[in-house]
């Protein structure tokens, strides 16, 4: 049954993609904040087990934040109000009663860009099963939809600076609001001010043998040594390091078809009281015989940090070598 659901969903995505390409000009622009999802179902189901299943699945924690925040914020909507402008939300999960059990993904049905997951079944239990069986595909699809939309907005006013291109032979697409903080022989730091703090991107290279041994410990130790050298804190003798009290997340990763490691965790400042989330990519560059490191970190005390890290993650996903 799982394979059947997956195939139906995949076919619907592909078919709707082609239909959307033909009619893209005839649908309005979608609306809604990033990483927000509208859930349409009867109120009785929303307040019962089906609603709990959706909240638990879509509300899984966003990794690497110092305080718990969900991956997605959910907005409930009654089916009777799901008309007109309400159908223009960018991410929608729509539950409907039907004798046929089905999971379908549609693209740009009422607006664009838009993802609609339509789940049908004879009762809430069948619908919940269909939803859970396809939840990974659904979240991956929404995440990519959000990333592309964020990148589209970034490209409205991208930077024209070439610091990273000239220094390291790499390129990142980021807004013009990011400005240079430090540029040395092997370390570049750009920063964007926000209402309560700043967003930061740093880049540096390492010799190709830098991660020989226990790579996870090597990554953290390298971060600490780089922070001590190049990222000072507010107070004399304070500097940027990894928060070791919270275990970071480590993954194998690919950027620009190059293999590497992705690390998500929390940074702090030694000898001071500052902290926040970071995301770090160490990418193996076999042609240059080096590891290229790009990292984003946010300093935003007393506010939600999910959307800031979403922006930094989107920027880092554009990593590519310059020919």
**Which residue is listed with tokens 């703090």?**
197
Domain endpoint, select from 106, 128, 154: 154
- How confident is the model at residue 302, as a pLDDT? 87
Which CATH number covers residue 286?
Answer: 3.40.1000.10
Answer yes or no: do 142 and 273 share one domain: no
Give how many domains the chain has, as a whole number.
Answer: 2
Q: Give yes or no: residues 295 and 148 share one domain.
A: no
**Domain identity same for 183 and 110:** no
With CA atoms as reference, report the closest residue to 202 among 217, 223, 175: 223
What is the pairing mode between strands 290-299 and 197-207?
Answer: antiparallel
Q: Is omega for the bond preceding 113 within 30 degrees of 0, making it cis?
A: yes
Q: In terms of domains, do 121 and 187 share one?
A: no
- 271 and 298 share one domain: yes
Query: In this structure, are 261 and 168 located in the same domain?
Result: yes
How many angstroms separate the CA atoms of 266 and 241, rounded? 9
Work out the mean pLDDT of the chain and round it to a whole number. 91
Same structural domain, 130 and 257: no
Answer whether residue 42 shows pLDDT above 90.
yes
Q: Based on the fold, state whether residues 47 and 91 are members of the same structural domain.
A: yes
In this structure, what token pair is assigned to residue 295?
A: 């990292």
Of 224, 278, 272, nearest in space to 249 by CA: 278
Considering only the C-alpha atoms of the chain, give the largest distance between any 2 of them, rounded to a whole number of Å: 69
Residues of the domain holding 268: 163-321
Same domain, 175 and 302: yes
Whether 216 and 249 have beta carbons less than 8 Å apart is answered as no
Q: What average pLDDT does range 42-50 have in this prediction?
A: 97
In whole angstroms, give the CA distance from residue 31 to residue 200: 28
Q: Based on the domain organization, do 186 and 149 belong to the same domain?
A: no
Query: pLDDT digit string (tens) for 237-286?
Result: 999 999 988 889 999 999 999 999 999 999 999 988 889 999 999 999 99
pLDDT recorded at residue 213: 85
Contacts of 174 (CB under 8 A, 6+ apart): 154, 158, 159, 190, 201, 315, 318
Same domain, 122 and 246: no
CATH value at residue 127: 3.30.379
State the average pLDDT over residues 27-32: 92
Assess whether 187 and 283 both reside in one domain: yes
For the segment 211-215, the average pLDDT, to the nearest whole number, is 88
Q: pTM, whole model, 2 decimals?
A: 0.89
* Span 69-89, pLDDT tens digits: 999 999 999 999 999 999 999
Q: State the DSSP H helix or E strand holding residue 149, giving kind and residue range, or none if neither.
A: helix 135-154
- Give the pLDDT confidence of 141-197 residue by residue, as tens digits: 999 999 999 999 999 999 999 999 999 999 999 999 999 999 999 999 999 999 989
Closest CA to 95 of 68, 133, 121, 125: 121
Question: Which residues, 6 or more positions from 259, have their beta carbon under 8 angstroms from its beta carbon?
Answer: 252, 253, 283, 284
Cα–Cα distance for residue pair 38/42, rounded to 1 Å: 13
User: Which pLDDT does position 245 carry in this prediction?
Assistant: 84
pLDDT of residue 322: 78
How many residues are there in the chain?
323
Q: Of 114, 134, 154, which closes a domain?
A: 154
Structural domain ending residue among the three candidates 104, 130, 154:
154
How many alpha carbons lie under 13 Å from residue 298 in its C-beta half-sphere?
A: 24
């Amino acid at each position: 049954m799982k394979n059947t659901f997956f195939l139906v969903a995949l076919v619907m995505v592909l078919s709707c993609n082609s239909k959307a390409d033909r009619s893209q000009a005839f649908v309005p622009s979608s609306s809604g904040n990033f990483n927000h999802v509208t859930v349409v179902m009867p109120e009785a189901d929303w307040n019962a087990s089906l609603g709990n299943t959706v909240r638990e699945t879509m509300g899984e924690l966003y990794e690497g934040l110092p305080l718990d925040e969900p991956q997605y914020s959910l907005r409930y909507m009654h089916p009777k109000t799901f008309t007109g402008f309400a159908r223009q939300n960018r991410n929608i999960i729509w539950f409907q009663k039907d004798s046929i059990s089905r999971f379908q993904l549609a693209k740009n049905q009422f607006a664009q860009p838009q993802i609609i997951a339509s789940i049908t079944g004879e009762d809430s239990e069948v619908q919940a099963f269909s939803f859970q069986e396809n939840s990974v595909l659904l979240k991956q699809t929404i995440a990519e939809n959000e990333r592309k939309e964020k990148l589209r907005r970034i490209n409205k006013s991208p930077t024209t600076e070439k610091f990273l291109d000239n220094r390291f032979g790499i390129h990142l697409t980021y807004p013009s609001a990011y400005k240079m903080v430090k540029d040395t022989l092997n370390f570049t730091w750009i920063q964007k001010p926000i209402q309560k703090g700043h967003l930061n991107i740093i880049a540096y290279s390492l010799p190709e043998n830098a991660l020989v041994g226990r790579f996870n410990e090597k990554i953290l130790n390298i971060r600490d040594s780089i922070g001590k050298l190049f990222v000072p804190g507010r107070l004399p003798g304070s500097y940027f390091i990894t928060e070791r009290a919270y275990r970071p997340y480590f993954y194998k990763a690919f950027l620009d078809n190059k293999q590497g490691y992705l690390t998500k965790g929390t940074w702090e400042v030694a000898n001071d009281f500052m902290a926040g989330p970071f995301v770090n990519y160490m990418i193996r560059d076999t042609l240059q015989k080096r590891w290229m490191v790009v990292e984003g970190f946010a300093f935003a005390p007393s506010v939600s940090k999910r959307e800031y890290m979403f922006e930094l993650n989107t920027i880092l996903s554009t990593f590519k070598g310059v020919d």
